[in-house]
A = this chain, B = another copy of it.
Amino acid sequence: VDSELRDRWLDLVQRRVAGANMRSGAVRLAVAEWLARDGQCLVTVPQIVDGLRDRRLGSQASVYRVVEQLFSLGLLRRVAGGDGIARYEIADPQHHHHHVVDEATGDVVAFTDRELEAAIADAARRLGFELVAHDVILRGERLRVPAATRAQDQARV
């Protein structure tokens, strides 16, 4: 858990919620806190509901509503896993990251890569699009001896 990111994101949530004439609410706060801690990479709404079950708050309906609100405010990224279930993660304005899925184990590794970002920006420019978001998912199998790892940031999730 990246505690710096967590705190930065919670601050952002507070500011954006305040700036959208929404009132503070117990469920939204609980969902935001849970996501700041456990939603740094690809969680489903049912997982959030489970995570809040012990607190005796956060009905299914409210959690879906809160997640939709946070997404609309640009505070969450929604990346579909390919299995027909929507997955969310907190959106960090300072860092993009993408995902590589180990087909053998199902493990998800998050990574950032400057060259990939540049290639995406170039492609969008060539296509005549102003880019507002982009998702990349790689699928493969982990090699025994990785080539020299130059990706800037790499973390098992």
Query: Which A residues lie at the B interface, using CB under 8 A?
Result: 78-86, 100, 102-103, 109, 111, 113, 115-116, 118-120, 122-143, 145-151, 154
Which residue of B86, B123, B127 contacts A146 across the interface (Cβ within 8 Å)?
Answer: B127
For residue A133, give the distance in angstroms from its CB to the closest CB of chain B: 4
Instruction: Let me know if A143 and B122 touch, CB within 8 A.
Output: no
Instruction: Let me know if A129 and B150 touch, CB within 8 A.
Output: no
Given the complex of chains A and B, what is the CA–CA distance between A103 and B133 in angstroms? 10
Which residue of B85, B141, B145 contacts A84 across the interface (Cβ within 8 Å)?
Answer: B85
Instruction: Let me know if A126 and B149 touch, CB within 8 A.
Output: yes
Residues of B contacting A115 with CB < 8 Å?
119, 122-123
For residue A150, give the distance in angstroms from its CB to the closest CB of chain B: 5
Which residue of B83, B103, B130, B138 contacts A123 across the interface (Cβ within 8 Å)?
Answer: B138
For residue A106, give the distance in angstroms from its CB to the closest CB of chain B: 14
Report the 3 A-B pairs with minimum CB-CB distance, sorted nearest first: A128-B146, A80-B80, A84-B86
A113-B126, A129-B143, A143-B129 are known contacts. Are A136 and B120 too (CB-CB below 8 A)? yes
Given the complex of chains A and B, what is the CA–CA distance between A120 and B119 in angstroms? 9
A82-B80, A116-B119 are known contacts. Are A124 and B140 too (CB-CB below 8 A)? yes
Instruction: Let me know if B123 and A133 touch, CB within 8 A.
Output: no
Residues of B contacting A129 with CB < 8 Å?
100, 102, 138, 140-143
